[in-house]
């Protein structure tokens, strides 16, 4: 799903270029944060490469098609051997920091900085924004960010999601390919399928934004 298209590479197999990393995420990492290069696979390191519909120049390195994960049996595209990380200890620590924020500053600071120390980043004071920042860069590309944004509130979610429109120097294609105008009225939800609505005999009520 996430690997660059059109590769002929000894380390990575070609993929479909979906879910590209945005410029706003690339800029979110602090200087000298090693997690940036652990998260982002750069299109400039490959020749040849086929630029996809939304080519930002960045790809999700955590779930890319590294040759060591390539399976030898079954449908390779559907059975890639890269394990999905459903939860990590860093996630638990950051949840703890968030829970203790405003209750015990010492504990909040400790849990936040336990995550930062692992990657040799300097200590910071635990605040709402410093914890949110840490969750973003630590868990980037792992399918958690969107749900965090919804949890932080719809206005904040819209601000952050629309910021993904920011264009970077490696982008290819018209800006309209990257513009984002998140619809707050839908509250981050998908519509209930009409077939489910029909068989519920009026019990289900369609989600807001789709009525």
8 A C-beta contact, residue 188 and residue 155: no
**Mean pLDDT, all residues of the chain:** 95
pLDDT score for 132? 98
φ and ψ of 165, to 5 deg: -70, -15
Q: Tally the C-alpha atoms within 13 A of residue 55's C-alpha that lie toward its C-beta.
A: 18
pLDDT at 79 over 90: no
Query: With bands split at pLDDT 50, 70 and 90, how would you rate the model's confidence at 69?
Result: confident
Distance CA 124, CA 200 (A): 51
Burial-class residue 202 by CB neighbours within 10 Å (0-12, 13-18, 19+).
exposed
pLDDT (mean) for 41-46: 95
Rounded-to-integer distance, Cα 128 and Cα 104, Å: 14
Instruction: Please report the pLDDT score of residue 115 as a whole number.
Output: 98
Residue ranges of domains in the chain: 1-84+166-183, 89-165
Residue 154 has pLDDT above 80, yes or no: yes
Give the architecture (CATH level 2) of 89-165: Alpha Horseshoe (1.25)
What are the structure tokens assigned to 30, written together? 């602090």
CB neighbours (10 Å) of residue 94?
Answer: 24
């Amino acid at each position: 799903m996430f690997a660059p298209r059109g590769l002929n590479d000894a380390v990575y197999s070609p993929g479909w270029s979906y879910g590209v990393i945005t410029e706003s995420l690339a800029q979110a990492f602090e200087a000298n944060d090693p997690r940036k290069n652990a998260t982002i696979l750069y299109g400039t390191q490959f020749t040849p490469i086929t630029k996809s519909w939304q080519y930002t120049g960045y790809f999700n390195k955590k779930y890319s098609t590294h040759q060591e994960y390539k399976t030898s049996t079954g449908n390779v595209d559907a059975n890639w051997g890269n394990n999905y990380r459903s939860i990590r200890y860093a996630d638990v620590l950051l949840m703890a920091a968030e829970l203790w924020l405003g209750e015990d500053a010492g504990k909040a600071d400790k849990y936040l900085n336990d995550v930062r120390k692992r990657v040799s980043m300097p200590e910071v004071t635990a605040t709402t924004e410093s914890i949110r920042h840490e969750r973003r860069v630590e868990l980037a590309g792992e399918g958690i960010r969107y749900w965090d944004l919804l949890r932080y509130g719809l206005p904040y979610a819209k601000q952050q999601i629309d910021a993904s429109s920011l264009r970077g120097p490696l982008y290819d294609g018209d800006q309209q390919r990257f513009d984002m105008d998140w619809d707050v009225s839908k509250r981050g939800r998908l519509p209930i399928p009409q077939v489910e609505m029909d068989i519920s005999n009026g019990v289900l009520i369609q989600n807001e934004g789709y009525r």
